[in-house]
Amino acid sequence: MSAKPSVPFRAGFVTFVGRPNVGKSTLTNALVGEKIAITSSKPQTTRRAIRGIVHRDAGQLVIVDTPGMHRPRTLLGERLNDVVQSTLASVDVICLCVPANEKLGPGDRFINEQLDQYPKAIKVALVTKTDAASKSQVAEQLLAVSGIRDWTEVVPVSASDDRQLGTLTEVLLGLMPESEQLYPVETNTEEATIDRIAELIREAALEGVQDELPHSIAVTVDDVVPREDGGITDVYANVWVERDSQKGIIIGHKGSRLTDVGARARAQIEPLLGSRVFLSLRVKVAKDWQRDAKQLGRLGF
C-alpha cells in the first residue's frame, strides 16, 4: 500500500472586526486558551494590534486583535484607525463578528462596506454570542449576515461556552496558506510582559467608569522588580487621565476606588508573573493627551 500523502502545514494571520462589544477580544482569548487581550464593555478597549497564536498539529493561526473600527474624534482615534487599516491590509483572513442577539444594524453594514478596501483577504462572517440567543434568533442572524456579502464561510460561535470554537479553528486553518511554522509552540503572544501588566491595570481601571472617562485612561509601567527572596514582585505603575476631576474619580473617596483597582489588577498580574505582587499605583494628569502628539508618543501611541 502506498503511504497516505502528508497534510500540508498551514499558517497565517486572521483578524476579527466588528462594532464595539461584539466579543472580538473574548473570542481571541478563548481560541488562544490564555488571556492576552483585555476585555470590557467600553468602546475602544483594545488600543493596539495584539497577536495571539493558536497551535495545532496541522498549522498555526496568528490572531491579530485590533481596535474597533470607528469614526475618530481625536488624534488617538485616528492612530487607532491607522492600526486597524494596516492590519486589515496584511492579514490572510478577515472575520466580521456580528452578535446573534442583536439585529444587524448600520454599524455592521458600515464595517462590512469597509472590507471592500481589502480585496486580497478572504472574508468570513462570525455570528457571535450564540449562547445568549435562541436557535431561531441564531438562524435568523445567519440568514441576515449571509445576505450582505458572499462570504467564504459563515460560522456561529460562542466564546463564553466554547461553542463551535473547534470548528472555527479548523475552518480558519483550512483557509491559511501552506507555510512553515511561524512561532515556537510555547509562544502564545508577542506581547511583552510589561505591556500585559499595563493592560491589566487599565482593564481594572475601566470597571465602573462612565461617559468619556474610559477613553481618557492610559497606563504606563515604570518598573517590575522581583525582590531578592523571590516571593514578591514590586510593580510601579501610573494611571493617566486628562483632567484633575478625572483624577479624583479614579482615586475615589479616601482612595477607596484606587484600592479596588489595585486589588483587581493584582489578582490578574500575579498568575502572569507567577509570584505575589506589591502594586504601587499613582494617578497622574496629562492634559488632553488624546489630542497631543507628543503626549501620545510618551504614552506609547
Residue-wise pLDDT for 235-276, tens only, equals 999 999 999 999 999 999 999 999 999 999 999 999 999 999
| Residue range of the domain that includes 119 | 10-175
Centre a 10 Å sphere on the Cβ of residue 82 and count the other Cβ atoms it contains.
12
Residue 185 located in a structural domain: no
Residues 168, 31 contacting (CB under 8 angstroms): yes
Which has more confidence, 28 or 42? 28
Residue 197: what residue type? I
- Return the pLDDT at 163: 87
The tens digit of pLDDT for each residue in 189-206 reads 988 899 999 999 999 998
The grid coordinates listed for 266 are 493584582
Whether 167 and 56 map to the same domain: the answer is yes
Nearest to 142, CA basis, from 157, 156, 153, 129:
156
Q: Does residue 30 sit in the same domain as residue 165? A: yes
Query: Domain boundary residue among 140, 175, 210?
Result: 175
pLDDT-based confidence at 43, cuts 50/70/90?
low
The mean pLDDT of the chain is 89
- pLDDT for position 134: 94
Which of 55, 57, 59, 58 minimizes the C-alpha distance to 32? 55
42 shares its domain with 116? yes
Q: Judge whether 273 and 193 are in contact, CB under 8 Å.
A: yes
Is the pLDDT score of 178 beyond 80?
Answer: yes
C-beta of residue 93 within 8 angstroms of C-beta of residue 53? no
269-281 in b/e form (b: 16+ CB < 10 A) is: bbeebeeebebeb
Instruction: Please state, in angstroms and rounded to a whole number, the distance separating the CA atoms of residues 205 and 218.
Output: 9
Residue 184: inside a domain: no
User: Residue 55's pLDDT is what?
Assistant: 95
Q: According to the model, what pLDDT value does residue 70 have?
A: 65
Cα separation, 63 vs 248, in Å, equals: 37
The residue type found at 293 is: A
For residue 119, is it within any domain?
Answer: yes
In this structure, is residue 4 part of a structural domain?
no
> One-letter amino acid identity for 134?
S
Distance separating alpha carbons of residues 136 and 40, to the nearest angstrom = 28
Pair 234, 225: CB distance under 8 Å: yes
Residue 132, Cβ density class (10 Å: 0-12 exposed, 13-18 middle, ≥19 buried): middle
* Tally of CB atoms within 10 A around 48: 17
| The pLDDT of residue 211 | 67
Please report the pLDDT score of residue 234 as a whole number: 96
pLDDT, average across residues 214-224: 90
Look at residue 23 and tell me if it is in a domain.
yes
Radius of gyration of the chain from its Cα atoms, rounded to whole angstroms: 21
Residues 198, 127 share a domain: no
